[in-house]
């Protein structure tokens, strides 16, 4: 989904506004979200702002680069759920990201 917004906000303040506008129950849902047929923004979704990309995390945002985006897109397109009747691109991305998270070392 593409969405253009003109604002003086920058950085995490802007990302937090975008998250609120595309998140059901935030109390600041935007018109595009309310009138569209889309799901709420969630962990692993990526937002592009002026040529920079940010991935929604459990808390906050992580900046990612174009190479990351290209590798992730290729991995999603090659995932078995991508063209599955029971899946689709979002299911493929979700599975990839959860598998990556499981491989991360646990901290105590």
Tell me the pTM. 0.72
Tens digit of each residue's pLDDT (9 = 90 or more) over 62-104? 999 999 989 999 999 999 999 988 889 889 988 998 888 787 6
The terminus-to-terminus CA distance of the chain in angstroms comes to: 38
Query: Which candidate, 38, 44, 22, 59, places its Cα nearest to that of 91?
Result: 44
Structure tokens at 9: 């906000």
Domain range annotation of the chain: 1-64, 65-108
Mean confidence (pLDDT) of the chain: 85
């Amino acid at each position: 989904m593409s969405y253009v917004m003109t604002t003086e906000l920058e950085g995490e303040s802007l990302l937090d506004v975008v998250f609120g506008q595309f998140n059901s129950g935030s109390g600041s849902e935007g018109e595009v979200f309310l009138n569209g047929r889309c799901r709420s923004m969630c962990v692993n979704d990526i937002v592009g702002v002026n040529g920079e990309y940010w991935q929604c995390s459990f808390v906050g945002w992580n900046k990612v680069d174009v190479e990351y985006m290209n590798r992730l897109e290729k991995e999603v397109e090659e995932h078995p759920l991508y063209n599955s009747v029971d899946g689709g691109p979002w299911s493929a991305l979700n599975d990839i990201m959860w598998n990556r998270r499981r491989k991360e070392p646990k901290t105590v």
